[in-house]
Amino acid sequence: MFFRASSLIVFVATLKFVLPSFDEYRLLQYLKENYDHFERPVENSSMPLDVKVRFLLNQILDVHWNDYKLRWDPRMFGGIKDVRFPGEADAPFKLWRPDVLLFNR
């Protein structure tokens, strides 16, 4: 009985850190408005998009790019400065991703 009660207390105490805040919910809704993951994220379509890729042997470690459509004023969303989206291909909201093709010269 003590184990169940202490487990419940730990679960409830950590729940606040797991659930998104209302400001984070509003921010995610704002960012998803009119976003098309098929569209290359550049303000001027004639300009290139710099994509930086780091890999080690056969594993890609990081892929970074700047998506101008995913900007917001942190003051409007409770001071939130960064947000993470699910990375799965079957996620309900899809982000544009660069096509990465590795080849050996």
Domain for residue 49, yes or no? yes
Question: Average pLDDT for consecutive 10-residue bins of the chain (105 residues)?
Answer: 58 56 87 88 90 74 83 93 76 79 69
Domain count for the chain: 1
Query: What is the extent of the structural domain holding 82?
Result: 22-105
CATH of the domain at 65: 2.70.170.10
Return d(Cα 23, Cα 20) in angstroms, integer.
Answer: 8
Cβ proximity of 77 and 24 under 8 Å: yes
Model pLDDT, residue 78: 93
Domain for residue 47, yes or no? yes
Domain for residue 8, yes or no? no
Domain for residue 16, yes or no? no
Domain for residue 17, yes or no? no
Domain for residue 6, yes or no? no
Return d(Cα 3, Cα 9) in angstroms, integer.
Answer: 10
